[in-house]
C-alpha cells in the first residue's frame, strides 16, 4: 500500500513538472509596430456587432486587450 501511494505521488509530481515545462508559443503575426490594424468585428456589451471600419474617419480608436478581463478566470 505504501508503494502504491509513493508511485501515485511520483506520477502526480511528474505530471505537474511536465505541464510546467510546456510554455505556449506566442501567436504568429505579420503585423509590425506602427502598422494599421486590420479590419475586424467584435460583439459589444449590448450584443451588437461592431467593426473597426465603422469608426474610420469618425473617431480616434484605442485598441486595448486585457487578457482574461471580465471572464471570471
Grid cell 486590420 in the structure block, residue: 38
Identify whether 29 is part of a domain: no
Residue 60 inside a domain? The answer is yes
- List % helix, strand, coil for the chain (3-state, nearest 5): 35, 10, 60
- Any domain includes 9: no
pTM across the whole model: 0.45
Percent of the chain with pLDDT over 90: 11
Tell me if 52 sits within 8 A of 39, measured CB to CB: yes
* Cα angle for residues 30, 34, 35 (degrees, 5° grid): 45
Q: How far apart are CA 39 and CA 52, in angstroms?
A: 6
pLDDT tens digits for 19-53?
555 667 777 888 888 888 889 998 888 999 999 99
Structural domains of the chain, count: 1
Quick check: is 59 in a domain?
yes
Amino acid at each position: 500500500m505504501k508503494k502504491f501511494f509513493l508511485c501515485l505521488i511520483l506520477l502526480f509530481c511528474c505530471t505537474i513538472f511536465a505541464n510546467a515545462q510546456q510554455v505556449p508559443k506566442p501567436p504568429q503575426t505579420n503585423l509590425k509596430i506602427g502598422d494599421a490594424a486590420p479590419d475586424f468585428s467584435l460583439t459589444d456589451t449590448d450584443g451588437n456587432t461592431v467593426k473597426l471600419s465603422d469608426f474610420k474617419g469618425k473617431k480616434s480608436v484605442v485598441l486595448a486587450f486585457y487578457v482574461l478581463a471580465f471572464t471570471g478566470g
